[in-house]
Amino acid sequence: MSKYLLILNLSLLFWSMFTMFSSREDDLLKTYSFEALEKNNSRQFINFACLVAIACSIIEFPRLPFTSVSSAARFATLLPGTGWNHLALIAMLFLLPSLKHSKQVKWTYIFVIFWFLSHGERVDMIGFLILLLFLYLKNHKITISTLIKSIVVALIIFLVFSYIGERRGGADNITLGSLFEKLFKQNTASDVGYVFNISCDYIKKYPLTHGKLLIFYLEQIIPDLAIPSVQNCGDIFLGARYAYPGGAYILTEPLLDFGVLGVLIIPNVYLGLIYMFLKNKRQYKFYVYIFLGATVLRYVWYGMEYIETALVWFIPFFYYLYHKRVKVKFS
């Protein structure tokens, strides 16, 4: 496990230090500042995006806030499909430039964040708040005061999200001490580490899958070819041989497909694609890039399958409406 993590970290270090990755990122964020993008958000589009964000949140979690439900019932949606949370998130990302000056957008943000958290869904909102913190630090000079404020805000967010996780797990006697304990004992991080562990064990005992998981991803992109009973590579291979909590660490699929060569090659292919993607500073790429920032915990902890539908279908759809400034009439 340490060897594979070292390979991943060295890859990240290489792209950070020996390429123009950071400067391309800076150029993209400077070119599409919120001030510049806010002028393009028409009133009709803001109304439409706010409606989508609120409606999709309710469709994803069609229950009263703080309702105690079983793990299976927690994922029961009002309408078929598994991408309603990402539709809500993408609508919020397109509304982001208008957040500072629009009360309507502010109230939409408050509602969506509250609705997700009050239904025990943390990952999407943690990622979204990480993105907001990242963008704030990119646009402000980092002083000691800014750093201390950021740490305090991060700690408060951490305690709130830990509380939500404990309540979701059925805990009743939750104290401040037990929440601080979560600084060192993270249930989700333990699950991810365990899945990574059994992935390493799998390639020692069983044949590699030789690209089957990459083909599976391509099949999942096309709705008619999607396999509804299969969630990810873990259900196909790991779940059949191990006690399996779900999810797939970002190195799991490279390991199962190609072993150590997968760890060497596939993360660098991902990084290379993002690097090439940043080369052309188009507005569409800005929204894709901040979506990757907001969903970082999704694909690092659970696999790339969890974001591919949004990348292939949802963001182009929203960008088309945004670019065309479609006028939607409301009664």
Angle at 238 between CA 297 and CA 213, to 5 degrees: 70
User: Any residues with CB less than 8 A from the CB of 8 and at least 6 apart, and which?
Assistant: 250, 251, 263, 267
pLDDT at position 224: 54
Name the nearest CA neighbour of 246 among 259, 233, 256, 228: 233
d(C-alpha 236, C-alpha 223), whole Å: 19
Name the nearest CA neighbour of 309 among 225, 192, 210: 225
- DSSP letter (8 states) at residue 314: I
pLDDT at position 245: 86
pLDDT at position 12: 95
Number of Cα atoms under 13 Å in the Cβ half of residue 311: 21
- Tens digits of residue pLDDT in 110-127: 999 999 988 878 888 889
Residues of the chain with pLDDT under 70: 68-74, 168-172, 223-234, 325-331
d(C-alpha 19, C-alpha 125), whole Å: 31
pLDDT at position 331: 40
Contact 25, 274 (CB under 8 A): no
d(C-alpha 104, C-alpha 96), whole Å: 12
Q: What is the dihedral of CA 128, 133, 135, 139, to 10 degrees?
A: 160
Single pTM value for the model: 0.86
Q: Which two tokens stand for residue 178?
A: 């037990």
d(C-alpha 252, C-alpha 267), whole Å: 11
pLDDT at position 105: 94
Q: Which two tokens stand for residue 273?
A: 């694609």
d(C-alpha 130, C-alpha 127), whole Å: 5
pLDDT at position 72: 60
Phi, then psi, of 62 in degrees rounded to 5:
-85, 50
Number of Cα atoms under 13 Å in the Cβ half of residue 145: 2
d(C-alpha 290, C-alpha 135), whole Å: 9
